[in-house]
Homo-oligomer: A and B are copies of this chain.
Amino acid sequence: MNTEVLNGRLEPHGDGELISKVLETVVEQVRPCTSRGSVATYIPELGKQDKGLLGIAMASVQGDVWVAGDWDSPFTMQSISKVVSLGLALTEMGEERVFSRVGVDPTADPFNSIMRLEMVAPHRPQNPLINAGAIVTLSLLPYPDSHSRFAAVRDLARRLTGAMDLDMDEAVYVSERDTSDRNRALAYFLRSVGALEGDIEDILDSYFRQCSLRVNAKDLAVMGVTLASGGVNPFSGERVLSSKVCRIMRALMATCGLYDGSGEFAVRVGVPAKSGVGGGIVASVPMRYGIGTFGPALDPKGNSLGGIMMLERISKELSLRVL
């Protein structure tokens, strides 16, 4: 089997001449389009990214890895980390307990909307992949403080990605922590309606930390294939999550993974995926592949413009769609 150490992590390799070629080609074709997007600016540190970057990596359940473009450029997980903390919560608390506090409804509201929380009683966030839902999910974890809570999320992220040195980007964390009025508003509102308990600044601190976890496209590909395989990381051989938890995560990614762009993504790409405003997308083709993309130029809904375009082409070329 073809795994070797790359960057202290993994060695991309594989006999997939076809796949290598497809990845190279899509990066080349899509790169000019990235000029049409914009990098996230609401977190100042994210605004410094080079919007011309574009990279992709793909991993199979058999343990192959293919890469192209800026696949090793680092970026922060942002909302992709919500998948990680959800996996942790489902594992530690159980499905029933998590979903008694957070819904599983897709929503066409923007990712940081308070409105719906206010209208519909009981005031339960629609799903764990919008900010409100992710914050509540995090608050349910049985850890006494931000430090231990974040350490647990990071540990799961490391095992999902196989990047055992994965850690947060300090500058992004600080930038995020200091400019997050909307998330503070959400958290205080959630607590005011009884949807959230605990020390808000402490919970938010772990939220900002997990959002700032730094990865590259290959890390996301490994994470995606671990979810695709039903929880076993094909490179480390470790069972990281149960297959049931992976099913839930993939289902939520399929219906709510790209904010209010989830429906269009299902039409165009047709595989479970989760995006982050850091420019990453992790996609998970059940039983087959994981894909990680990176392109910090975002579309108006906050999803990586280049990432979606690459995934659309690859899904078609390699017949990946499951819908």
A100 within 8 A of B: no
By the criterion CB–CB under 8 Å, are A286 and B182 in contact? no
- A50-58, A111-119, A154-162: which one contacts chain B? A111-119
A267 within 8 A of B: yes
A191 to B178, CA, bound (A): 13
A306 within 8 A of B: no
- Assuming A288-B8, A322-B7, is B255 touching A185 (CB within 8 A)? no
- Assuming A115-B115, A188-B182, is B251 touching A266 (CB within 8 A)? yes
- A22-30, A68-76, A168-176, A256-264: which one contacts chain B? A256-264
By the criterion CB–CB under 8 Å, are B114 and A118 in contact? yes
Chain B residues in 8 Å Cβ range of A262? 105-106, 255
A109 nearest CB neighbor, chain B only: B108
Residue-wise interface mask of A (228-262) relative to B, using a CB-CB cutoff of 8 A (1 in contact, 0 not): 00000000000000000001101110111000111
Which listed residue, B118, B181, B270, touches A192 by the CB 8 Å rule? B181
A252 to B266, CA, bound (A): 7
Q: In chain A between 176 and 195, which residues have their CB closer than 8 angstroms to a CB of chain B?
A: 181-182, 184-189, 191-192
A287 within 8 A of B: yes
A261 to B104, CA, bound (A): 8
By the criterion CB–CB under 8 Å, are A8 and B319 in contact? yes
A313 within 8 A of B: no
A1 within 8 A of B: no
A112 nearest CB neighbor, chain B only: B192
Sort A-B residue pairs by CB-CB distance and give the 4 closest, nearest first: A106-B106, A181-B192, A185-B189, A185-B188
